[in-house]
Structure 1
């Protein structure tokens, strides 16, 4: 009886294929035992692979899953001593894999079997064959060596330093005699004892903790300082009785504290949009606020859009009205960043002589906030809220139907109202004190009181005074 198999498509090593053939041989022997009644007879198996014999007789090295499963099946049918070695030249099983012609089959031992089966000694000697599996065999699992290092401690207190709690230390030591064990100051075990009894009394104060420690027979040298340090670093005590932490404000920048003319150092931002109507078209307009960092005055301009050109025009209007600006603080809006780049490029073209260098040094400088850090612009962000509040009150009185001219007028009136606010309210209710200082006192050298607008209404973007209304034919 003979049986052969084709090698699988999945790559398998040559020793793995040889082992698969040995597995088939073991299965065939089981079939012969059942069908021919050879259960009481001894069986012998031959293979020309020394590696396979090494796998079957191996008891020390760990094999990979493919090899280990097949070795287990072979050992279920046979014993390792039943497997013996046959030279390749005497193995007729090779004829099935190599292929022979009819004449070669007639001359081979395919039909008769190997010669040693007909001799008195039925098997070649395998005692002198080396069946040791090589260390670099791919079917052998790598050996992992774990090195366990035992730590040596010179004293009991050093051993106790390895524990994080009193109960763990007690479990490891097993027995601790609670009869005045004198504990040194600053020792780790002393801290564990103090922490344990501090937890037992519900995280109470120093006196109750010391009393609980002494009641259980412990005496810690310098117990007061040990317990005080423990309570100071106790997270639970900080949650229960810790002081509330207040936000610490950083120092103001120099441009907020140094005296300077109005709008020499300012911050800016855009707000809106506002819907206006020009004829039958509805358009968007935006507001641009400049806040003086020294006087806290505001200046408002109207933007047609959020482009760089529109912002530069508004900045030119500010400079024409309020004077030169040396430094601007703002966020990293695309229109602000674009304006900064454009101004630098144009000024670099003038960087020729000392006069141009001096002009360049005095030019407006942009300082941008960190991205997504609106809190850094609180000086002007707060004024935007004030603008919206004042503008809402003006629009209630004059209607919400706006055009560009009406929006600009309302924003200027809003600017005048905001600049008339007092800069301090300390002496606001004291009749003996002078009037408080307002930004308008600095900008116009006039009183901060804003006169009301002339009588009349804004109707469809056109201002109509009371005299014109009285003379109209409809009013008569």
Structure 2
């Protein structure tokens, strides 16, 4: 009614109060926590949705004018006046209004819903505690055997029975066998209770066992154990083989037994281990259970682990975009040693290969030692002959890492004196491959193999001098740069194959000096060279770059390695089952969002490795 009056009247009320002379109603309204029966709860919910609790107040019954309408009253002037003006206390300040201290709801009210709660306590048996505690079948058997012996000791001490003998000293084989049978009997009574009761009752009830997963095994009870009946009763095999003990497929005891036989058989496959187990036990769905155990075997995981793979990364811009000049982006690596004759002694020399990532051209230098200084000098010779590179890619070799540190210090002084300030502003961007990830440098590694093949063909195990070695290096450089970049066809109408040498020299062959002395002939030769250069670049863009489109390996998109994954680090210096473990601490995704490099936390510190040198053992998401 109050809500309806406020909505119908064009009067704004500053405050609205509701009065009742029922203490029970006030208890109901002020109780916002207890759950009432449906009839009371629906009406209290309506009151709470339209009004606030503090709007309700108590009025004594003798001053409640609503009783005039509900109970009736004799007609007199005073009654009419009270009905029109309301109770007299409304004309007084609020402090004089009737007040009553309303406590919380009565706990014994019949309208309150009775709530009942039940606490269930599951008491785990001692055998279950032992089964869940141990992860090795032999240790579990020993624990149960010791517990059985202690139980027998308490029985003798309490009852004083002299017919029982207590074994002393170490455990015996018969005690372990008894522990095994007791454990299996305990498991069977839990999981095959219905079948055991049917077999123990009478022969008629055995018909009901046809609805059991054991129906094809024709089960039977032998010494309190559920065994396979089968069709081999009249064979000459041992009883344990004719009537193997039935085990459930999914139980901790079954897993421990299968794990024991798996280790006993030398971590062989599921078929062989299952055949060995069936000489004594018959595991329901044994092949599936055995494969599950092998899948969880840590030793098998480490032995059968395979390196992680990921989709081959897109080619970087340095491999496909046109540059201002050759050798703008360079890959560098060492190879050797090469033995040279120096006087009467034999010394080691090393080859330093610089390859243009865009043209696949090669520049070879001789390094006289495997030190940082020797590499820096080889790099300076390369820069003087081929120009200043913008990017250098290399393996994470110790000499190359040191060269990068020293080179950054030396270049500041060296460049200020020798090179234009613009080149100093550009500097050299040095990119290192992850440690132990040689495939990141496949561009220069392939060139090293070609250089070795040429050197082996030229040297033929003959002793070299430094002068001969430098000559052979340049000859090898010429031969490699003359190799075709695209397959050569038999069609006579095709132009000559593109080679790195033609792209570097901008000509097809070396021209005699006398042929270019004439101005007219020189102009024609220059136009021809310019034309050939344009043809070469167009063919290079169409033919060679298109060959880089295909992925010849790592063609499948795989799961990204994640932080928290447990991996095994491949090592060439130890056996596979002794490879160190690492935990992925941080992933280093490539530009395409795929992870090909990670940061690992190991026993020896933090390492950065390529994923193809890692074997995933346990994923953080369990996959």
Superposed pair shares fold, TM > 0.5: no
TM-score using structure 1 length: 0.43
Higher relative contact order (CA 8 A, sep 6+): 2
TM-score norm. by structure 2 comes to 0.34
